[in-house]
Amino acid sequence: NAGVTQTPKFQVLKTGQSMTLQCAQDMNHNSMYWYRQDPGMGLRLIYYSASEGTTDKGEVPNGYNVSRLNKREFSLRLESAAPSQTSVYFCAIELDRQGAYTGELFFGEGSRLTVL
Amino acid sequence: GIQVEQSPPDLILQEGANSTLRCNFSDSVNNLQWFHQNPWGQLINLFYIPSGTKQNGRLSATTVATERYSLLYISSSQTTDSGVYFCAPRGDNNDMRFGAGTRLTVKP
């Protein structure tokens, strides 16, 4: 998993509850990403962070907030969970080489979220 | 965003057979990755291949960016190759888009 740790690995929520998915890297890469994967589909980008303190929306940001308070951690928050947010969530880092972005992503093992 | 089409959607092989997976994309790209998602859901990097050809053991990949496609070749397939293969091209706007994947089943 290239040093990308996601917690929790599994979570069940009721509609309207809130929760935060945590992602931490043990390296020093600048860019971090959150994706979701629905059954039978590829991954879709929710938010990304090109550097500490910056975040940008991806393809499907509605219903989510993110926070990049330091270089190591990137969290994804669901303020009021909905059944449509039942999915597997993946965090990824973008490999830096000598301070330059490479465009190559490495993924964590995923967090499976079920909203009832 | 970039539109990505992978084919075939499903592929069943006998162990030892060869296969070619295709990825077509709609716009110019800065880079492209191939991933294997194993039956446990882990995403494993196979290739980072914005252009040209790379080989890693029984797997190789070719990207022809000017013609907007990439190919993944699997030779002498093994049961451990089963899973879903995704290609993910990335355009100028930092947006990496995934295809729907090719689900490969290798039978012993």
A52-79 pLDDT per residue, tens: 999 999 999 999 999 998 999 999 999 9
Q: Note whether B1 contacts A: Cβ–Cβ < 8 A.
A: yes
Residue A105 in tokens:
């992503």
Query: How high is the pLDDT of residue A41?
Result: 85
Which of A45, A56, A110 is closest, CB to CB, to B96?
Answer: A45
Shortest Cα distance from A41 to chain B (angstroms)?
5
* pLDDT of residue B34 exceeding 90: yes
The pair phi, psi for residue A86, each rounded to 5°, is -65, 120
Q: Are B96 and A45 in contact (CB under 8 A)?
A: yes
- Residue whose structure tokens are 């995704």: B86
Report, as ranges of residue numbers, the positions in chain A whose pLDDT lies below 70: 1-2, 99
Size of interface A-B (CB pairs under 8 A): 54
Inspect the interface and report whether the beta carbons of B90 and A103 lie closer than 8 Å: yes
CA A30 to each of CA A25, A49, A100, B70: distance values in angstroms, whole numbers, following the listed order: 10, 8, 9, 28
Inspect the interface and report whether the beta carbons of B48 and A104 lie closer than 8 Å: yes
For B92, the closest chain A residue by CA position comes to A103
What is the mean predicted confidence (pLDDT) over B18-45?
Answer: 94
B50 interaction partners in chain A (CB closer than 8 Å) = 103
CA separation for the pair A96, B7 (Å, rounded): 31
* pLDDT of residue B96 exceeding 80: yes
- What SS3 class is residue A11? strand
What is the mean predicted confidence (pLDDT) over B72-92?
Answer: 94
